[in-house]
């Protein structure tokens, strides 16, 4: 048996696996919201540190504005 039968079967099988995974993820609702995850990924986890730092920065900003 020639190798080409094997290769084509493998390639079709791999493609079919991807099709299956695609359909499964669509079914699970992964593609329903395509916006929020892109924003969520940019949020930092360290709330407290983040909060204090940023807070003081924005305070500074505000002070400057007040001076003007």
Partner 1 sequence: MINVIYYNNVNLDICNRYKGANMESKKCYHCGNEVTSFNRIQFDNKQFCCNGCKTVYEIFSENDLISYYDFETAPGATPNPVTRKYDFLEKEEIVDKLLDFKESEIAIATLYIPHIHCSSCIWILENLNKLSLGVYRSLVNFPEKKVSITFNPSQVNLKQLVELLDSIGYAPYISLKNYEEKPKNIDRSLIYKIGVAFFSFGNVMMLSFPEYFNIEDLWIIEYRDFFRWLILLMSLPVFFYSASPYHIAAWNGLKTGNYTIDIPMSLGIIVMFIRSVYDIVFSHGQGFFDSMCMLVFFMLLGKLFQQRTYNFLSFERDYKSYFPIAVTRIEADGGEKPVQVYDVVKGDRLLIRNEELIPVDSILISAKAFVDYSFVTGEAVPVEKKSGDKLFAGGKQVGEVIEIETVKTVSQSYLTQLWSNDVFQKKVDFKYKTITDSISHYFTPVLLIISVLALVYWMFIDYAVAFNVFTAILIVACPCALALSAPFTMGNVIRIMGRKKFYVKNTIVVEQMAKVDTLVFDKTGTITSSAAAGIYYEGADLNIEEKNAIKNIVRGSNHPLSRRLYEFLPVSKVEKPTLFEEIKGSGVTGIVNNQKYNLGSSQFLNVVNVNLVNETAVYVGIGDVLKGKFVFSNNYRNNLSKIFRNLDELGYGLIVLSGDNDGEEAVLRELLPESTTLVFNQKPDEKLRYIEKLQQQGKNVMMIGDGLNDAGALAQSNVGVSVSENINVFTPASDAILDAKKFSKIPAFLKYSKSAIGIIKRSYIMALTYNVVGISFAISNHLSPLVAAILMPISTVTIISFVTIMSNYYGRKNL
Q: How many CA atoms lie within 13 A of 6 on its CB side?
A: 3
- Site map 33..62 versus partner 1, x via CB under 8 A: xxxx-xxx-xx---xx-xxx-xx--xx--x
Site track for partner 1 across 7-26, x = CB under 8 A: -x--xx--xx-xx--xx--x
Closest CA to 25 of 42, 37, 8, 11: 37
Residue pair 12/6 in contact (Cβ under 8 Å)? The answer is no
Binding positions for partner 1, rule: CB under 8 A: 2, 4-5, 8, 11-12, 15-16, 18-19, 22-23, 26-27, 29, 31-36, 38-40, 42-43, 47-48, 50-52, 54-55, 58-59, 62-63, 66
């Amino acid at each position: 048996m020639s190798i080409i039968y094997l290769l084509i079967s493998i390639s079709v099988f791999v493609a079919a696996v991807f099709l299956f995974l695609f359909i499964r993820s669509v079914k699970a609702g992964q593609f329903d919201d395509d916006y929020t995850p892109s924003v969520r990924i940019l949020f930092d986890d360290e709330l407290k540190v983040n909060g204090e730092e940023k807070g003081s920065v924005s305070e500074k900003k505000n002070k400057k504005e007040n001076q003007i």
